[in-house]
Structure 1
Amino acid sequence: MTESLHTVTTMPAARQPGCPFDPPAELIDAREHGPISRFTFPDGHQGRLITGYDLVRSVLADSRFSSRKELMRHHPLIDYGDIEVPPASPGEFLLMDEPQHSRYRKPLVGKFTVRRMRQLTERVEQITAEHLDAMEKAGPPTDLVTAFAKPIPAVVICELLGVPYEERGSFQEQIDSLLSGEASDEEQIAAYTAVQHYLAELVAAKRANPTDDVLSDLTDSDLTDEELQGMALILLAAGFDTTANMLALGTFALLRNPAQLAALRADPALTDQAVEELLRYLSVAKQFHRVALEDVELGGHTVEAGTTVILSYNTANRDPERFSDPHLLDLRRRDGGHLAFGHGIHQCLGQQLARVEMRVAFPALVNRFPTLRLAVPAEGVALRLETADIYGVKSLPVTWDA
């Protein structure tokens, strides 16, 4: 089939000034031309960009598209040249296909069920209240990222995995350096080395003296120490960075939409819908890659075997063919089914934990501080670079009437 495809020239594309919550204009334009576009990677590889909801969802559920790390030879920012990309490290199950993927995911599924995560609600409420108390005691202004958005998910995921309390601060800093998208190559290597060294010691400690946590439970299996390290790194990074950025960016979005903020304060029953809408509207996990294992027909076009496909979650979640008024933040929205947590076998394992944290934290924050507002002009809020895997704000200065 002869293809006639729109071409996207810049990835990652920049967001429009004054539109911190909307996908980059070039990606929105691409979706308006059709759900699939062409993109040339720095090494000359002719890839595809999928921006439509239905096609993104179908690729995520299609075993003809691979997540294997060694196949991810093409990157929007990197020309690997002749360098061979190694397979995923043991335990790094996000970058594996079946059956290797299930070897690591299955032992974790029972640890993150809806029922088990809801049982954590009381502890999440306690952690949230402690940080709100500290904010209130210190008084305004404050950076909501460091005072609220980061420490809550950091404490929760560290407790789940059994990271000792006194070690969480330094561990959080290293994870920040790995995931911010702003650290130099040398800083990232140093952070990765430090994290791996720490996790090796943590796994050894759990084997020697198991405690009541997920990592200790996993030591009672046939998983090796190296595999447990890899799994722990993924859980810590995913359980911390995504929720932290949702809490900060979500608060920013609410403060910029005062009618929606007022609705959340006035109606506690709206909380679940509000969380799902913020997940859809913000889509902080912007995109993921897949590689076609064989020729596949997508949206009337042939994606040839070996083609790297970029899946744009943020445009899929703003697709007008799936969501009415998609660029509107509407906490009472009824057309759910967003892809913020992905779809298929790699759908986010910790999504129920993230939901519990947001369902507790957002209403607790806005009700504790009814006069909460930005302490700087909206244009002055420092945003994460588009090169970061997870989108968000670097800092969110806020104030309130003490």
Structure 2
Amino acid sequence: MTEAPEMPLHMQRVRFDPIEELAQVREKEGITRVRTPFGASAYLVTRYDDVREVLADSARFSNAATGRNRPPGMAELSDEELEQLRAGQMLNFDPPEHSRLRKMLTSEFTVKRMRRLEPRIVEIVDAALDELEAAGTPGDLVSSFALPVPSLVICELLGVPYADRADFQHRTGRLLDASLPVEQRLALQRESREYMGALVAEAMAAPGEDMLGMLVREHGHDLSAAELAGVASLLLLAGHETTSNMLGLGTLALLRHPEQLALLRDDPAAVEPAVEELLRWLSIVHSGVPRTTTTEVEIAGHTIPAGELLVLALPAANRDPALLEHPERLDITREAVRHVAFGHGVHHCLGAPLARMEMRIAFPALLRRFPELALAVPYEEIGFRAFHLVYGLHALPVTW
């Protein structure tokens, strides 16, 4: 049996909290050497101001240069296949190529557009709660609520058959599992591309009213089939993985802080700041896409040559005392801070307005429907997805 690789420092947590060693790096050196989940050597950036500086400057800190690298295990890929896998993946490009792809989607993710989706998201949340209640207590909040809600929302928005959810959720869960060998994850990436390629072909033959149909109708002359598949694959993965883990992990965090749970449940004005504080405190995306230095740079007083890989410790940055007082505390009453849970700069999460709306609807709806919500097992038995690139829970057994 293949042993799981050593977990990178920036992914190590004790349940909700980054390990103490990460805070020590932030307070002392500010930067240290680590190995990425793909086995490459990199500098780990831990301080809030430094992380924002890297995220804001795509000229000196490049996504594209990183995307052209071949992680261990991918050496057998031909240049042509590597380009096919990169096509349409906005996170693998810098401006102006990144800007070209993102511009085609920006209008679909505005706050105004999200408001038009709100009634449908309310329906989806209420239907999921109805099914959870009808199934009876105890129930698993991850499989019965946290995962189905954002999955159905992104499926309807994008134009992906919801009936396929079990397959794509299974693929995505394994694709983001850093304990699996690179070769297995590469095979899963190919499967995902093939699946989305088939949906793109259907949309090109008969574009519907969903986002995939819109892209074909309005930008089909500018986007190749491979680019369409890449854009759609990224949206599908990000659209359900991140929000579902926020809903599951966020609910557990609130159950561990009952006074704050009650405030979010009973006071509509508390919902928005609560969502922002949960985003900051949980920081479910450990690091995002690594950057590559294009020139010699100085970070935290350290000189780093050109061509070096940088990994950003988002949980450490969001709990930096330089950002706010008592950063280790979950406090939904605090004033919102400029956290980096959604990134920053040109790669700031495109779907942030949608994710925020889903959470603003789902958290209070869940807590009001089940005012006696409680864990069905001891807290110590809850399993966290330690090796996943998006942090979360395997399951959340609850009673009401």
Matching of residue 33 in structure 1 with residue 28 in structure 2: yes
Q: Which residue of 2 aligns with 1:131?
A: 128
Q: Which residue of 1 aligns with 2:326?
A: 325
Question: Which runs of structure 2 are paired with 1:120-269 in the superposition (5 Å)?
Answer: 120-181=117-178, 188-220=185-217, 221=219, 222-269=222-269
Q: How has the CA–CA distance of structure 1 residues 13 and 106 changed in structure 2, closer, same or farther, with 3 Å as cutoff?
A: closer
Matching of residue 299 in structure 1 with residue 300 in structure 2: yes
Structure 1 letter corresponding to 2:204: R
**Structure 1: tracts of 5 or more residues without a match:** 1-8
In the aligned structure 1, how far is the partner of 2:371 from the partner of 2:169? 30
Report if aligned partners of 1:159, 1:213 keep a CA contact under 8 Å in 2.
Answer: yes
Structure 1 letter corresponding to 2:153: V
Q: Which residue of 2 aligns with 1:370?
A: 371
In the aligned structure 2, how far is the partner of 1:315 from the partner of 1:54? 11
Report if aligned partners of 1:38, 1:49 keep a CA contact under 8 Å in 2.
Answer: yes
Q: Once the 2 structures are TM-superposed, how far is the Cα of residue 107 of structure 1 from its aligned partner? A: 0.2
Q: Once the 2 structures are TM-superposed, how far is the Cα of residue 339 of structure 1 from its aligned partner? A: 0.4
TM-score normalized by structure 1? Answer: 0.89
Q: Which residue of 1 aligns with 2:3?
A: none
Q: Which residue of 2 aligns with 1:356?
A: 357
Q: How has the CA–CA distance of structure 1 residues 138 and 182 changed in structure 2, closer, same or farther, with 3 Å as cutoff?
A: farther
In the aligned structure 2, how far is the partner of 1:381 from the partner of 1:339? 27
Q: How has the CA–CA distance of structure 1 residues 55 and 186 changed in structure 2, closer, same or farther, with 3 Å as cutoff?
A: closer
Comparing 90-99 with 36-45, greater Cα deviation is found at: 36-45
In the aligned structure 1, how far is the partner of 2:45 from the partner of 2:78? 26
Q: Once the 2 structures are TM-superposed, how far is the Cα of residue 210 of structure 1 from its aligned partner? A: 1.6
Question: Which runs of structure 2 are paired with 1:281-292 in the superposition (5 Å)?
Answer: 281-288=281-288, 289-292=290-293
Q: Once the 2 structures are TM-superposed, how far is the Cα of residue 213 of structure 1 from its aligned partner? A: 0.8
Q: Once the 2 structures are TM-superposed, how far is the Cα of residue 191 of structure 1 from its aligned partner? A: 3.6
Report if aligned partners of 2:201, 2:225 keep a CA contact under 8 Å in 1.
Answer: yes
Q: How has the CA–CA distance of structure 1 residues 84 and 198 changed in structure 2, closer, same or farther, with 3 Å as cutoff?
A: closer
Q: Once the 2 structures are TM-superposed, how far is the Cα of residue 109 of structure 1 from its aligned partner? A: 0.6
User: Whose helix proportion is higher, 1 or 2?
Assistant: 2
Structure 2 letter corresponding to 1:144: L
In the aligned structure 1, how far is the partner of 2:99 from the partner of 2:61? 16
Q: Once the 2 structures are TM-superposed, how far is the Cα of residue 335 of structure 1 from its aligned partner? A: 4.2
Q: Once the 2 structures are TM-superposed, how far is the Cα of residue 46 of structure 1 from its aligned partner? A: 6.1
Q: Once the 2 structures are TM-superposed, how far is the Cα of residue 164 of structure 1 from its aligned partner? A: 2.4
In the aligned structure 2, how far is the partner of 1:79 from the partner of 1:26? 29
In the aligned structure 2, how far is the partner of 1:347 from the partner of 1:316? 15
Matching of residue 58 in structure 1 with residue 84 in structure 2: no
In the aligned structure 1, how far is the partner of 2:88 from the partner of 2:38? 29
Q: Which residue of 1 aligns with 2:392?
A: 392
Q: Which residue of 2 aligns with 1:94?
A: 91
Q: How has the CA–CA distance of structure 1 residues 301 and 39 changed in structure 2, closer, same or farther, with 3 Å as cutoff?
A: same
In the aligned structure 1, how far is the partner of 2:125 from the partner of 2:39? 48
In the aligned structure 2, how far is the partner of 1:281 from the partner of 1:43? 26
Give SS of 2:17's match: coil
Q: Which residue of 1 aligns with 2:19?
A: 24
1:103-153 deviation digits (Å, cap 9, x = unpaired) = 211100111011101211111110000000001111111111100010000
Q: Once the 2 structures are TM-superposed, how far is the Cα of residue 38 of structure 1 from its aligned partner? A: 3.5
In the aligned structure 2, how far is the partner of 1:376 from the partner of 1:196? 39
Structure 2 letter corresponding to 1:270: A
**Structure 2: tracts of 5 or more residues without a match:** 1-5
Matching of residue 68 in structure 1 with residue 69 in structure 2: no
Structure 2 letter corresponding to 1:277: E
Structure 2 letter corresponding to 1:102: S
Q: Once the 2 structures are TM-superposed, how far is the Cα of residue 302 of structure 1 from its aligned partner? A: 1.2
Structure 1 letter corresponding to 2:242: T
TM-score normalized by structure 2? Answer: 0.90
Q: Once the 2 structures are TM-superposed, how far is the Cα of residue 243 of structure 1 from its aligned partner? A: 0.5
Report if aligned partners of 2:296, 2:304 keep a CA contact under 8 Å in 1.
Answer: yes
Aligned residues between the structures? 387
Q: How has the CA–CA distance of structure 1 residues 204 and 267 changed in structure 2, closer, same or farther, with 3 Å as cutoff?
A: same
In the aligned structure 2, how far is the partner of 1:121 from the partner of 1:71? 35
Structure 2 letter corresponding to 1:364: A
Report if aligned partners of 2:287, 2:314 keep a CA contact under 8 Å in 1.
Answer: yes
Q: How has the CA–CA distance of structure 1 residues 83 and 43 changed in structure 2, closer, same or farther, with 3 Å as cutoff?
A: farther
Percentage of matched positions with identical amino acids: 46
